[in-house]
Structure 1
């Protein structure tokens, strides 16, 4: 029996922040700092107070905070600052394929606000030279006023929330990982730390691509000139590649460069017109993406935004794309600095996939919009009325506004400088309709989703068909969101987990309980250590997908439930099998 199952358990929350901390000792080689020479007092082991920055040896000092309790059961070797007031959480919300039109295709980022009480402090944990100071630390300032003065560069540093029960070690507790966005206060003796998941690094002015260039033309050129010089002097080598694609006003060109001299190798590219350009006009590099598979392109963009490669499980991403997205090789010309978040959102929609931050695994997950596949996916966790669900917590919400019966994809963009949502700027169009759903005997109306896909070029005919089909499979019938709550013993369920729900409100046409596969969109521990709230969406429901099976597999009537889920059989007719089961569709 685990600690989560014990009666009378006492929850505990510990917040950890990692402070940048020099591993050297003041004045001891290689540190060249010296009292009276480099400073009047010793440093506080942070870069802001360092007197020999050339030799700063970056390490980490972990500070731990918890609420004032008589005992945390962690032992004397773990130092706890008892100033935690509370932790408010806004959970990750996954948006599968952009299904929720009110939310970005990136979903909602996890965000927490940690509230702490400020107080006088002796500095013994944070200042290795506290006993040598010519002042009494308890008499000057407060913990947070001093810490912020000494550590102004805290944005982007690690923050962790450990949740468990008294008697557990730190390693036994559940850990959620974030990065610090800002620290507010101290105000009236209170400090708030706002932290978010690493996908926040994608947003707005935080991350753009291509890089903004500032080189300008030294003199005017006409529509026949094939070279120009950049100013100010030296900017060519500092800001521009030796060759590539560039933009001058409303014209796209290819070029080579030597120093500040740019030689034009072709003009009026991609539907633009050769034109005259004045002295002082900006020359901007264009980001050219050429037939790059979706998983690799997303990883490049995330890392370009400052997200560490260690947070991207490339092997998992590769396996997912190999099986479900191998035909989604994307191309685009990005001709002006653009928010990486915007580009990622477009790609997720145009390649029918999604990503999210896993706070516990400390990595960014990547999935295609696809059916459950038992061969590679984790075994679903069973959730039942009797075993897991809190009484009266299940809410089944229909989302008719998300239903789709027609998908139109405009692709093969003509002019990269034209409006993304201009239908006339695309050479090709894919239109797929679910005529059954529009029939008077079903929903009797048309619901259209139109996608302007600048990342899909004329080599992506097959991909557009897959994209449209997968959207219809998920949205031809009225989508549902299912909310429910469980006890903390079900803490293994998290965002992205697949569960098999058996609930009296989910039945077949006879009224018998119908075990239903759901994918968790969000997880929120609403009562720490006691109760967890979830939101989930059913997997693809209109089609039963089949997979190639090994020789020697049994006939359908003799197959186990697991074999029927993992494989595929040819039905005698379009209606299905003699026992009423639906026929399979081969992917």
Structure 2
């Protein structure tokens, strides 16, 4: 029988399988290259007798429930407790999950190291006392918890939780093992803090090498900032030499810095999430930031990221250092983002035809943050890939493409912070959730309505909700009638106060604040250190207000195991007699599962929040292209400049309509030069649909109208509707607003 058969059976006995990954040397004691002699070691670093030749590998210890044994396992598991992963309703941030596993102790094994041809016989101690003594470095090693049923073979067991060992506490006759989810790694500092002795050992004037003392206090690659405020990027380091001097390699000034940094000036590591256009310029898409925080700062393996099949493949093979990636259909990808091919993550900066590009035409301004690390990004390895290889998108890239397309965020951090703190900031300001899902993958969700056609689970009293377990909480503590966003910080690491920001935006729901409802204002204030443009500030304020202006209704109920597939983070529709509309009828409402916990009797308790996301919802689309050169009121050829952040050539129909300022223009044909990024519209008829032909200056926006969009663009974006929710298919340009579209 399969896991699903047992799950739906009336007679089933759950069985736990625990796997603990502990370090073990790959060599055999006394066999070359190991030069150890005498009594064999225990193949751990702390007991190694030839540390220069120690080669780290791992041994997976398996443990099962006391009354059930799987081949190669020890039946020591007595009790498993789960503190579930939970999404906080107030801040939309995840609270980490934790497993508490109690295991009995036992006599030691006959041989200390199963699987090794040379191993000590166990003569004293106990199993767990010996394991703990030989593995003092067990902290943050991987542990996995699997759930199965008596009668199932090991391959049929289902992964329940993957995490990092927090502690092993020995008690009388046993141990308690605490395992935190993978995001525990985000407690690491974002970057090292250099001491006052981290200084230049000689002047730096812009050459390929920077000479510093205390280079061991800096990252292997990144950005440093001098005592005088000059930025330098570098891609590697070596040292120290006989004089204690380190070399930062392949270095150059960045962010508009130049001149000389004098010998003896202190330098410090900084994080600058921004492009370099002779200064700190455009920000990054959300996926670049979150993946850097999770994989680079938090050292969480990219293997644990949730991936989505893009539907595209490599159209020809590439080498490990290629910076133009030929794909079968570039329209399936955002203008900049992250992809995965085989086991490699790749950051691309733009698109050029059916190529995703890291450098050259279409790649935009430089990105010092990932200098020389676009291939083999986020701690993966750059390798060659064959034509036809599938291309995957990290879930956050997929979410950004659907709901945050064109949104850019930037920030600078001089002082180290907990990586979790930085991740919380950007998630809150972009309204993105990040958590470890039930497949133990790191996943992401933009707080948005379901996509058109997306399958959403339906629950109701008769078929799903267990009788007498449903309760409703109308939580007014979460209500906000106005949102204030302070944005465009004046300095790095701004303090959370209005004076640290250049701009402020206020959104007010007057119907809620008047005397017929609240009779007062309930503000939510964001000090948005990641936001530097009004578009992102407006999106944050309007989306947050939509969700919380009437408070947040929470629902708690039990389900049977047949509905086990409802997971934390999932959206679902529910109809229950506990929630009625003004006519006394059950309402079909959209909720999000925030917490899931197993209860006695084979039931599951769900805590959920009403999303208020079943209404029209704004999101940020691509920027409009601009006129490459000025045109007179009689010109019949118009040239537009396309960049990585604008609509692309494929988004324009072969013939169609655009709008420039107040004038609407039709065109008969188009041609695109991928080398220059210039789209030429020919056979233009000026001043159509009752507008007036006018001259326009270079750099003015050219607005793409629905009737000028290709089918690719029509499927990809949802245009503003008119008052009757009809698309603008007559071409009058009604309601088009730059950057904003509404489902």
Q: TM class by shorter-chain length? A: 0.7 to 0.9
SS at 2:39's partner residue?
Answer: coil
Task: Choose from 416, 437, 444 the match for 1:358.
Answer: 437
Instruction: Name the counterpart of 2:23.
Output: 20
The answer to whether residue 58 in structure 2 is matched with residue 60 in structure 1 is yes
Task: Quickly say closer, same or farther: Cα 1:523–1:431, change in 2 above 3 A.
Answer: same
Instruction: Name the counterpart of 2:479.
Output: 403
Instruction: Check whether the contact 1:545–1:568 (CA below 8 A) recurs between aligned residues.
Output: no
CA distances 1:459-483 after superposition (whole Å, capped 9, x unpaired) = x211111111100111011201211
SS at 1:19's partner residue?
Answer: strand
For 2:458 and 2:467, the matched residues in 1 are separated by: 16
For 1:345 and 1:15, the matched residues in 2 are separated by: 31
Indicate the larger mover: 297-306 or 311-320. 311-320
Instruction: Name the counterpart of 1:40.
Output: 38
For 1:573 and 1:308, the matched residues in 2 are separated by: 45
CA distances 1:499-529 after superposition (whole Å, capped 9, x unpaired) = 22221112332222222222111111233x8
Instruction: Check whether the contact 1:215–1:232 (CA below 8 A) recurs between aligned residues.
Output: no
TM-superposed deviation, 1:27: 3.2
Unpaired runs of 5+ residues, structure 1, are: 220-224, 270-276, 549-565, 575-584
Task: Choose from 594, 599, 623 the match for 1:521.
Answer: 594
For 1:474 and 1:573, the matched residues in 2 are separated by: 21
Instruction: Check whether the contact 1:243–1:254 (CA below 8 A) recurs between aligned residues.
Output: no
Task: Quickly say closer, same or farther: Cα 1:27–1:372, change in 2 above 3 A.
Answer: same
Task: Quickly say closer, same or farther: Cα 1:247–1:335, change in 2 above 3 A.
Answer: farther
SS at 1:514's partner residue?
Answer: coil
The answer to whether residue 284 in structure 2 is matched with residue 307 in structure 1 is no
Instruction: Check whether the contact 2:484–2:523 (CA below 8 A) recurs between aligned residues.
Output: yes
Question: Which structure has more RCO (C-alpha within 8 Å, separation ≥ 6)?
Answer: 1
Task: Quickly say closer, same or farther: Cα 1:265–1:157, change in 2 above 3 A.
Answer: closer
TM-superposed deviation, 1:266: 11
Instruction: Check whether the contact 1:524–1:532 (CA below 8 A) recurs between aligned residues.
Output: yes
Task: Choose from 416, 422, 438 the match for 2:492.
Answer: 416
TM-superposed deviation, 1:80: 2.9
TM-superposed deviation, 1:571: 5.8
TM-superposed deviation, 1:53: 4.1
TM-superposed deviation, 1:545: 4.9
For 1:510 and 1:151, the matched residues in 2 are separated by: 65
For 1:510 and 1:568, the matched residues in 2 are separated by: 32
Q: How does 1:562-581 map to 2 (within 5 A)?
A: 572=724
Instruction: Name the counterpart of 2:580.
Output: 507
Task: Choose from 380, 396, 408 the match for 1:317.
Answer: 396
Q: How does 1:122-271 map to 2 (within 5 A)?
A: 122-124=109-111, 126-128=113-115, 133=120, 137=122, 140-203=124-187, 206-209=188-191, 211-216=192-197, 234-235=213-214, 239=218, 246=225, 248=227, 252-254=229-231
Task: Choose from 532, 557, 575 the match for 2:604.
Answer: 532
Instruction: Name the counterpart of 1:370.
Output: 448
Report the count of equivalent residues: 518
Instruction: Check whether the contact 1:252–1:268 (CA below 8 A) recurs between aligned residues.
Output: no
Task: Quickly say closer, same or farther: Cα 1:284–1:56, change in 2 above 3 A.
Answer: closer
For 2:303 and 2:573, the matched residues in 1 are separated by: 31
Indicate the larger mover: 14-23 or 86-95. 14-23
Task: Quickly say closer, same or farther: Cα 1:177–1:9, change in 2 above 3 A.
Answer: closer
Instruction: Name the counterpart of 2:505.
Output: 430
For 2:152 and 2:233, the matched residues in 1 are separated by: 63
Indicate the larger mover: 362-371 or 47-56. 47-56
Instruction: Check whether the contact 1:289–1:332 (CA below 8 A) recurs between aligned residues.
Output: yes
TM-superposed deviation, 1:586: 2.3
Instruction: Name the counterpart of 1:119.
Output: 106
CA distances 1:120-166 after superposition (whole Å, capped 9, x unpaired) = 12244744569974x6x3x5101111111222222222211111211
For 2:287 and 2:294, the matched residues in 1 are separated by: 11
For 1:256 and 1:497, the matched residues in 2 are separated by: 41
Instruction: Name the counterpart of 2:742.
Output: 586
Indicate the larger mover: 159-168 or 42-51. 42-51
Instruction: Check whether the contact 1:216–1:281 (CA below 8 A) recurs between aligned residues.
Output: no
Instruction: Name the counterpart of 2:90.
Output: 100
SS at 1:411's partner residue?
Answer: strand
The answer to whether residue 377 in structure 2 is matched with residue 385 in structure 1 is no
Indicate the larger mover: 535-544 or 79-88. 535-544
Q: How does 1:486-505 map to 2 (within 5 A)?
A: 486-505=559-578
CA distances 1:77-99 after superposition (whole Å, capped 9, x unpaired) = x133222121111111123xxx4
Task: Quickly say closer, same or farther: Cα 1:319–1:242, change in 2 above 3 A.
Answer: closer
SS at 2:590's partner residue?
Answer: strand
SS at 2:183's partner residue?
Answer: helix
TM-superposed deviation, 1:23: 4.0
SS at 2:543's partner residue?
Answer: helix
Instruction: Check whether the contact 1:501–1:518 (CA below 8 A) recurs between aligned residues.
Output: yes
For 2:293 and 2:167, the matched residues in 1 are separated by: 28
Instruction: Name the counterpart of 2:10.
Output: 7
Task: Quickly say closer, same or farther: Cα 1:573–1:112, change in 2 above 3 A.
Answer: closer
Task: Quickly say closer, same or farther: Cα 1:8–1:443, change in 2 above 3 A.
Answer: same
For 2:574 and 2:719, the matched residues in 1 are separated by: 22
Instruction: Name the counterpart of 2:515.
Output: 440
CA RMSD of aligned residues (A): 3.9
Task: Choose from 283, 294, 305 the match for 2:286.
Answer: 294
TM-superposed deviation, 1:490: 1.7
Task: Quickly say closer, same or farther: Cα 1:217–1:501, change in 2 above 3 A.
Answer: closer
For 1:411 and 1:393, the matched residues in 2 are separated by: 44
Instruction: Check whether the contact 2:93–2:428 (CA below 8 A) recurs between aligned residues.
Output: no
For 1:336 and 1:132, the matched residues in 2 are separated by: 48
SS at 1:397's partner residue?
Answer: strand
Instruction: Name the counterpart of 2:383.
Output: none
CA distances 1:3-23 after superposition (whole Å, capped 9, x unpaired) = 112122112122221222344
SS at 1:214's partner residue?
Answer: coil
SS at 1:286's partner residue?
Answer: strand
SS at 1:495's partner residue?
Answer: coil
